[in-house]
Amino acid sequence: MAAELRISPRERLILTAILEMYIATGEPVASQAVARIYADKEGMSSATIRNVMVSLSESGLLEQPHTSAGRIPTAKAFRFYVEHLAGAARAATGTNVPQLSAEKRQQIDDCFAGVTSRQHFLERTSHVLAMISSGVGVATEAAGETEWLEHIHFSRLTAQRVLAVVVTRGGTVLDRVLQLDHDLDQGDLEAAANFVNGNFRGWSIERIRADIGQRMEQERSEYDRLMLSVNELFKGALAGVQPSQMIFVEGVANLVQRDVDRERLRALLGALEAKQRLIDLLSAYVDARQQAVRVVVGLEDTIPDMENMVLIGTGARLGAESVGTVAVLAPTRIRYNETIQAVSYIAQLSERILQTPRG
């Protein structure tokens, strides 16, 4: 972004000052406010600063709301600011993420005391990120988590009627009464359940479906009878099951306190209540397989009601396995440095907190 803008060091200095003043106050920044900082200190007169602000406006980095004498940064300016932060971090630490202070790390560690499960980790993450950022903390599990099979059981009710109970790794319990084309005794049902539990425990539902279908095509022996039963029972038990993801959202009240535009706030809250839209938003911008922090300004391209919002997110991992995505959604006037640091640190905590493999 910085290379595309081709702005001079002087323009960059003034733009950064305006951005940081606007983040701190939320008010349009006048040239006099910038002059109080830089006039005569950087060899810039008040007239020079005014001229630079005009140039930045012509470049689409500043805009003048209504008849105010001051200017506010545009989404393009905030993108530049994010790139500038990343560049400064690389120069200082060799990474894209600035280091979190020891005090802040300890505060976050204390918040995660006693957390051992993935669900609890994600739930606590949304709370801590909302608290630190004064925005909305969001945490989603890895796609397909709730579809991993833990256990399946079949019970004969009456002739040709069977109760199927499916338990997933995500804690979901599904029970279905199946109407079969032919009768199966309890021994047949137990053999089918033992086959599925013994061969497919810990597999995704979609992978099990595909494997059973493939075995049905390949087997041509006495094994066929068992596979026919397994296929019929499993298909019936999981009919209509769709992929699902847990998502935890906290801190919406922070937006209520900050946003004075009631109509815009109502639309924004509606977008946040549509959980699947949030999952889709994070999936579109954040690769859960990577732990590089992604900062996206201009979410209105995906969800119009999120104009002037920023997404800061990354993936949380346990070894080679994805745990989920952790992120902050907030107005562009956010404390970028601190929020980026916190998102990165919490994502890395998953390795330490969730060391014990799931059974």
pLDDT in tens, 105-149: 999 999 999 888 888 999 999 999 999 998 999 999 876 545 678
Closest CA to 334 of 247, 263, 254, 269: 254
Quote the pLDDT of residue 43: 67
Q: DSSP readout, 215-263? A: HHHH--STHHHHHHHHHHHHHHHTTT------EEEE-HHHHHHH---HH
CATH 1.10.10.10 residue ranges for the chain: 2-92
136 neighbors 250 (Cβ within 8 angstroms): yes
Which segments in the chain show pLDDT lower than 70? 1-5, 39-43, 67-68, 85-98, 143-147, 170, 206, 216-225, 238-244, 257-261, 356-359
CA dihedral of residues 105, 106, 108, 114 (deg, nearest 10):
140
Which H or E run contains 92? Answer: helix 75-93
Task: Give the three-state DSSP class for 201.
Answer: coil
Q: Which amino acid makes up residue 317?
A: R
pTM beyond 0.75: the answer is no
CA distances for 219 relative to 214, 216, 258, 313, angstroms: 9, 6, 64, 47
Q: What top-level class would CATH report for the domain 146-237? A: alpha beta
CATH 3.30.450.40 residue ranges for the chain: 97-143+245-353
Phi, psi of 165 (to 5 degrees): -120, 120
Provide the 8-state DSSP code for 97.
S
Task: Give the three-state DSSP class for 307.
Answer: coil
Q: How far apart are CA 180 and CA 216, in angstroms?
A: 18
DSSP-derived pairing of the beta strands 294-297 and 247-250: unpaired
The fold for domain 2-92 equals Arc Repressor Mutant, subunit A (1.10.10)
CA distances for 127 relative to 72, 124, 147, 170, 286, angstroms: 31, 5, 25, 21, 20
Quote the pLDDT of residue 1: 40
Provide the 8-state DSSP code for 359.
-
**Residues in CB range of 326: below 8 A, 6 or more apart:** 122, 125, 129, 138, 139, 313, 314, 315, 316, 343, 346, 347
Quote the pLDDT of residue 2: 39
Quote the pLDDT of residue 3: 45
Q: How far apart are CA 86 and CA 312, in angstroms?
A: 13
Quote the pLDDT of residue 100: 79
Q: Which amino acid makes up residue 32?
A: Q
Q: How far apart are CA 108 and CA 249, in angstroms?
A: 18
Q: How far apart are CA 162 and CA 175, in angstroms?
A: 10
**Cβ-based burial of 67 (10 A; exposed 0-12, middle 13-18, buried ≥19):** exposed
Q: DSSP readout, 31-60? A: HHHHHHHHBTTSSB-HHHHHHHHHHHHHTT
Provide the 8-state DSSP code for 288.
T
Quote the pLDDT of residue 219: 58
CATH 3.30.390.60 residue ranges for the chain: 146-237
97-143+245-353 CATH pick, 3.30.70.100, 3.30.450.40, 2.60.120.260, 3.90.1580.10: 3.30.450.40
